[in-house]
Structure 1
């Protein structure tokens, strides 16, 4: 009898409650790293026989100076020949062995020929395919040079992903760089300046550096930033600076997502707490801060969020969404409700002071100032007091008090208050349940320009709550919400296209929307992207990219991302089979309450794969998964009871669990019942 493995869950979407802070459980990869940090900077601006480039030398100097400030020993190759580049990589391979972190930065021309990426040294010849490949260096050599590093192995490719002759990708019969596919593509993380088919821009005329180099170096120097947080920051900033025309791309798995570029980062900032705990605190603050402003009408709230991230106080997972909301609000007509409310609302200065105090974690001061402003009739202050009551941050946790504040805020005309008051009405949180009234409240907020309300109206139409079910109306409202800058609506619209609900079924359109949402910080969308790359239906199959997105979701606290990555490690599907890392990620998912996490960890524990064998503990883990609805775990409990593994053998209990598994949808359990002659 084979134990059952977990089915892929379907991500739950927002609806049931007002968003609150989430406690995250993360695990640091064990081991003490050496103090050594090494980097190799390669820039090629002056070419002998291909078009020269203006920015690589300037960008390389900026990256070099930044890494040196961060304690890296940096070697530099400016305009190297092919032989000099190969020799330099060989020497750097020795430097990286046993190091804590190793980074290679390359700025210059790049080309992809027959599925292989090539980096062009100074003496490259591009007359034809043969001369180009013979005179260039395969990018895989960069990955090989980093394999000796323990905590961080990072390649930064500042080259284009298209083929215009005047940019950092060579034209003619070549194509822009592809994602890496060699043996080091998982173990080495590659951050590319641009997405597939995009140009790595040099910036505005007269700019000292490219948008990518600026975002990269600013991100590296943020207080306490981890390698896991860096890509999201860089992507959001480059998209902002290029107005959406360039999005950096990432692939690979971090050995330790909690490693900090800051020499005084999490491990040294809190000697009494491990880096994982400091990261957890930052994420919790991030969730609470975003909850307090996400429905705001004031661009200053979102700017304050971004400033808090720049100070290293929060992880900034919603930075892209904050940037989108700023742009959407600033595009509103001068006479709109939101603009008028910002200038005319009483107590606005107190609201700003409270917001700043909240960002610092001074909840007492925030509560005082918001209370004063609320007494003056300020709807934003009432909304934030409601959030405090809901989350227990700065005020006693009290859903009834939260509902009263949200109603007062809604009555004062604040769209965020309307959204949360509508949720209270729809779900009966702190108020009598009244779906019709909740729908009308959402409609009021949507009419006033609330992107969140537009997304919630879409869900109301999908579920038939407060209005008749109407998938086409739902799709229309989701599109409006997306256009207004609402992040969660992007992935929800993608889900409709994936299933063909209210819109024509279109897997590629769904993938594009998931990708957009994932870059904006939606962790459910990250997981859906991982599924798309793993399945290979809407996009070319790419297990490394799937694992990349699963880890990004996991690092952001998404339990489905944790368990999805664990499955890949357990099965050796696309990744080198590693039961130890599988167990780590299953454990993280289980700590977050994920049924598949309990199931997977139970299976490894029963077999002694990656963890010490303990059948009694496996039974407990399967029970936890079964309690959360896992049909596969129910079947496994039947197997354990039938065989007397970890529990006393009990045929009746085994049959009972097999029946429960069948009822929950596990058809394999029916075979077990048939084998036992049970009905």
Structure 2
């Protein structure tokens, strides 16, 4: 298990000209433990703990655990996009890896390696990560490859060596390994490997530069192993590089370390509590912080009264309505009314929307569902600091006066205060709740959801044929859960393929779609 860290510093001119961005430090952290052959004890733990330490230092962190090749490559591609304009980019991988003909390969789950020839086609070439980071051009790039545990496939390879290949340290960079070239490092008997244990210890100190982190880590590893494992590095840095916020030593905060079990055991998660991209579909999610708001309004008549206080836990919600491209990535049906890959999936029944989120969860990136009605209204209104009531919807919604009788690509109208698009107009959106005209009189004050096994489900937000009254974020309506279905037969494109025929309503609606919430926090 040789761990490599590569830090490349951009030119001063680039540093001066690069635009500022909210997330100046971006990281992708991958840990693979659950291999079918030679499973490993520590990588998932190592990745989780590295992610935690980087959060403390102010990084936006995307964590992928036990990913297959497709998930890894999608995550790396998204990482490259997120890096544009960043000050520091950091990639960390823990798991099996091997050198073949001088190239380092990272092993995903389910690779099915039978021979050396399989490696380049069934694993992830480390040069792909380098290319993505180089193309994005962050001011400082860090790559950590904790990937030279004992290669379980070495007997099948002609040219594979123990450990990973040496990588040079170009000007302005540092290359560091958990042990000397050609040697192996222990997976560890505790929660972390020996090297990672001490790397974590010193990585959490924002006062230390990367040079000091590596030096202190080497000293601790040598002492614990009695010189059996000697971390090695080559450096050509021209200046000290700090991973924490650029503040003076006197002002550097001492971070509080969140408990490791606060990070959920899921494959992929963004920890800056701002945005996250689901790796299979590319679906973007926005974090809606916990809070309380006034749901509904006081009216003499109507199903959205009385106004009442509701408090919600934080949750992830789709930035956009689910698009036709995302639908067809998961499901085999593409019989939409308004064709266009960037347009919202329409003609979707509640049952079909629930089937979509179930199968999306089978990818391993998390657990998904439709939003509850309370979550939907809270997000649509802008959270605990709601938008002012909209009086002119032309800038934020596609509806009867501007849609020309059809839906439009998602995200082409202005977002709300949380950065969510099309919460009003384009297509109606299913909620998880059963419809009850007196639901607001029965709501629990905390995380309410109406479950009455009704054939009617709540729809919100209005569609491209709606009048203004339906666009108000407090307005609600209902539809039979089987209604709206145009997708007569659905087959999953992910994993096992199996058909599911729905009993279709004789009445179709071309204005019903949905957006997704991620149930893992």
Report the TM-score when normalising by structure 2.
0.41
Name the structure, 1 or 2, with higher relative contact order (CA <8 Å, separation 6+).
2
- The answer to which structure has the higher helix fraction is 1
TM-score, length-scaled by structure 1: 0.32
